[in-house]
Homo-oligomer: A and B are copies of this chain.
Amino acid sequence: MMRDRAAPPCLPRHRSEGTELRFLHTADWHLGRLFHARSLIEDQAFVLDQFVALVRDVRPDAVLIAGDVYDRAVPPPEAVALLDDVLARIVIGAGVPVVMIAGNHDSAQRLDFGARLLAARGLHVAGRVGAETTCVTLVDAHGEVRIYALPYAEPAAVRDAFGVDLSSHEAALGAQLDAIRAAHPAGVRAVAVGHAFVVGGAVSESERPLSVGGSGAVAAELFHGFDLVALGHLHRPQTIGGRVHYSGSLLKYSLSEADHRKSVSLIELDGSGEVRIEQIGLQPRRDLRILQGELADLIAAGPGDARRDDYVYAVLTDTGALLDPMARLREAYPNALAIERAILARSGQAGEAGRQLRELDTGSLFANFFREVSDADLNGDQRRALDDLLAGMEASERESA
C-alpha cells in the first residue's frame, strides 16, 4: 500500500479552541441556477445570509463546501459576486477557515483562481485535481486532524495527474484515496471533502449524472480509514454507513425535492474519531410546493394561503378545457412555475412514464430513440461510440467558455 511518494505537507494549520472539532458542512449551492427560467439568486442570497449568521453563532473550526458551488462552468456575474461576498463574510468577518472543492458543475480552472493566495487568508480552494491533494491541518486538544480536499475530477484528469492508467470514477477516486492513505501519519484523524455518487445514495432529478453511459457510482468502502467523509453531489441530506455524509443542497432544485427538508450539517468529531451529525434547517425565501386540485379550488385557496409566494407546481385535476390557466393561477400564486394536467396524463400513467423518461440520461434516451426508429438495439460498438461522443461533449461544455 505504501507508495514511493514523499508525505505531502499539510499546511497551513489552524488551532481549535474547543474540546472537539466542529465543522459546518454544506454543498451543492448551484449559485446562478435557473429554475423554470427564473433566477434563484435572491433565494440563494436569502439562505446564505442565514448560513453566515449560523457560522457566526456556531463558530465551527472550519466550513466545508463540498462542490457544485456554481451551477455551471461560467456562472453569471451576480453569482460570482454573491460567492465572493459570502466567503469574505465567513473568512474575514467571522474568522472561520473554509475548505471548498469543485463539483461536476464547476469549472476546475476557474474555481482555482487565486487559490495559493487565498489559502494564506484561510480560504482553501481545490479546483483542479493534482498528484498532491490540498490538505489543511486542524489541531485540537487531542492532536491533529487532516482535512483532504478532493475536487471532482474526470477519470482522464486523474490519469494525467497521477500517471496511472484508469478509466472509471471508482478507480480514479480510489487512486487519490490510496495516495492519501499511503502518506497519512498513523494516529492522526482524517477527514475527506469530496464530490461523488456513493452507491446506495438517494438521487434527485437535479443532479447531473457524473458519467455518461454509467452511474459513475463509487462504493462507500472506498473511503475506508477516514473518520469523516463530507460529500456533495446528492441533493438529499443523508448519511451512508455512519461516516459518509451528504449535507444536501442549499435549496430545492427540482420537483423531486419538494418533500426534502434542506439543511446544513453541524458535525462534531471527537478525539477518538467518533462523529456526531446534526442537521440544521435553513428557511428558504420561498418554498417549493406541489399543489393538486381543480384550478378554481386552488385559486380560491390562494388569498388565505400564508405561503402564497412559494414556488408552486400545480397538478390540475380539471377534466374540461381551461382558458389560460397559468395566468389565472398566478393571480393567486404569483410565483407559480408550471402546470401539469392530470387528465392529459391518462390517469397518471403517462405522467409516470414521463417522469421515468426525465430520469434517463442522454445516452439511454438516444438508445430508446434508436430502437424506435430502426427496430434494432445499438450494438456494443455503436453504444461505445455514442458514449465517447457524449462524454466529449460534456467535458467540452464543462470547460469551454
Contact = CB atoms under 8 A, between A and B. Distances in A.
Interface of A: 73-78, 80-81, 83-84, 87-88, 91-92, 107, 109-110, 112-118, 120-121, 123, 399-401
Nearest to A112: B84
A117 B59 CA distance: 19
5 contacts: A73-B77, A77-B401, A87-B117, A92-B120, A114-B118
A78 B120 contact: no
B121 A109 contact: no
B109 A92 contact: no
A75 to B, nearest CB: 7
A117 B123 contact: yes
B401 A110 contact: no
Contact of A114 (B75, B78, B114): B114
Q: State the 3 A-B residue pairs at the shortest beta-carbon distance, nearest first.
A: A77-B109, A117-B121, A88-B116
A117 B115 contact: no
Taken together, the copies of this chain in the complex come to 2
A270 B222 CA distance: 62
Contacts of A117: 87-88, 91-92, 114, 117-118, 121, 123
A110 B400 contact: no
A110 B399 contact: no
Contacts of A110: 77, 80
**Most chain B beta carbons < 10 A, residue from A73, A92, A117:** A117
Nearest to A115: B84
A75 B401 CA distance: 7
A88 B119 CA distance: 11
A78 B118 contact: no
A341 to B, nearest CB: 35
Contact of A112 (B76, B81, B92, B401): B81
A149 to B, nearest CB: 17
Contacts of A80: 109-110, 112-113
Contacts of A114: 84, 87, 113-114, 117-118, 123
Given A83-B113, A114-B114, A120-B121, 16 more contacts: A77-B109, A77-B110, A77-B400, A78-B109, A80-B113, A81-B112, A87-B117, A88-B117, A92-B116, A113-B113, A114-B117, A114-B123, A117-B117, A117-B118, A118-B118, A121-B121
A356 B83 CA distance: 45
A369 to B, nearest CB: 31
A91 B109 CA distance: 19
B113 A399 contact: no
A112 to B, nearest CB: 6
A370 to B, nearest CB: 34
